[in-house]
Structure 1
């Protein structure tokens, strides 16, 4: 019985943490575009389309302590993470060029930030998607045991 309470508490903390990560990612992307004036490329928009709903979904799930939310969150976070990897490869691997080159606006290969030589905006987005996905997988495996 005590172990179940602890597992439930851990799952609740992971849920709250995933919501917090999604909120920081959304606010970070808005900071870069609205305050710093960085114009998002096409792949950035797809990553935003995957991240922004997670703030609402995870926020509601955190409020209601809904541990069944991974079935809704995992597809979005895995899709967004995949787009982030593709975008990062387009930025960092010479000649990668992407599957479909960006034709309008900012090219997807441009780097607005390049902290420590490898941290770019798609890298930050991938980190957020990865943390959310890991939290959702842990919640899934913990609730499956009950």
Structure 2
């Protein structure tokens, strides 16, 4: 029989999963702009600024088993989720944001029915949840 995984092993697995989410989000945004030629609006740029460092921060934390990364990752992921949520709201409300040449409310592309800000919001929420879960596992039962 397999030995049950220790909380530290599960925490490390959660950090690895968060790294994969951040990596997919980063690769996806690069593909949309470089591969498909879509021009990112200013809010998209803010989301990228908050997502891209998470790949390295979470990757290092997973490799070096650092669940304390919650103090570094959450200040990137939570504001990222807020910006993506606001961006998603702008698209639903059909308003214009006027933050640059490309309107933040413009929907240029959909993946599985979700707009790019919806996908970013999903990624930021997943990263936040995985990092918090890893930190709680490491801390032990409350």
TM-score (norm 1): 0.88
Deviation per residue, 1:51-94 (Å, 9 max, x gap): 00101111111121111111100111000000000000000124
**Mapped pair 1:47 → 2:42:** no
The aligned runs of 1:94-113 (5 Å cut-off) are: 94-95=94-95, 97=96, 101-113=97-109
- Computed over aligned residues only, the root mean square deviation of the Cα atoms, in angstroms, reads 1.7
Q: Which residue of 2 aligns with 1:28?
A: 28
Following superposition, the deviation at residue 137 of structure 1 comes to: 1.1
**Unpaired segments ≥5 residues, structure 2:** none
Following superposition, the deviation at residue 145 of structure 1 comes to 2.1
**1:105: Cα distance to partner?**
1.4
SS in 1 for 2:110: coil
State the partner residue of 1:114: 110
Report how far residue 102 of structure 1 moved: 2.5
Contact conserved, 2:10 with 2:137, CA < 8 A, in 1?
Answer: no
Residue 133 of structure 1, CA deviation = 0.3
Structure 1 residue ranges (4+ consecutive) displaced by more than 2 angstroms after TM superposition:
101-104, 114-117
- For structure 1, list consecutive stretches of 5 or more residues without a partner in the other structure: none
- Provide the aligned length of Structure 1 versus Structure 2: 139
TM-score (norm 2): 0.90
Q: Output the CA distance in 2 between the equivalents of 1:116 and 1:32.
A: 14
